[in-house]
Structure 1
């Protein structure tokens, strides 16, 4: 069964980017033992992606030589014209997440949907009962301000299903959301 997952890292005080929208505080942990293999294992189970315009622009602004999610259909939710990325299956949409979700499930072909970055976009999925899991990497850094992890209230109590410890004080908490749909 396809699950819609928010796989994300946040500072200890709940921010996914600093006040300037920067991620350098996070990138300093990219070399932590086990993190890359864990990420690759997660990505192997992903069949479709959703991201907001700011996340897409960040990725494109990093100027990768190839699209980092090759072969995975990607929906970019935006109300602006954005440049494409050669060779990538990117679908720009201004539609409501609920209207696009079934297309994403079909494209995922039994794999999962990853909500990449963008707490505001994830909040839209959550408000419509379309968010199934949160995979939260907690980074031992306190930012004091920035882009919040998830600017929405979630009904009920989340169920902790897994905890993964990494060196240098990192942990990942995996939660399922109660079904309200």
Structure 2
């Protein structure tokens, strides 16, 4: 088993989502002693897509500029990490009712027509199949699945669009109102992983 471990919280050691992703990875490694891990902290920076990215990555060109080549190399690196993984463990801290900009940038980098998904006569088909994802959802005041949660359905949809349909959430929500209850929900979800 190879695990891709992704964090994106801006709060450093105080981050609940970082704590949860570490706990998920530890449980997976306990259940699979030979498991390997690739770690990426998206908070260190994931370039947003722009016109140079579009030309260099999506359109392609015979004579790319250095900037366009850098975009292609970075996008390929993000995508290869996903392709090589059996399991993704993704930290999903909620800021302003949705996912972090860094995590959105990462999704934009790996969502590539003809590479991670393709269009068919029956509609889009994800090409990153055969993988599982565990999502560490952490929110001070946005209950998971509520009408003000614009993150959990989105990330489930995006992963499914890319072919990753086996998605499990480990939610620690309502932390600002009742931290103990929110963490208890997360611990209960953790107990089911690799059980």
TM-score range, shorter chain: 0.3 to 0.5
Higher share of residues assigned helix? 2
TM-score, normalization: structure 2?
0.32
TM-score, normalization: structure 1?
0.34
Higher relative contact order (CA 8 A, sep 6+): 1
The structure with the largest alpha-carbon Rg is 2
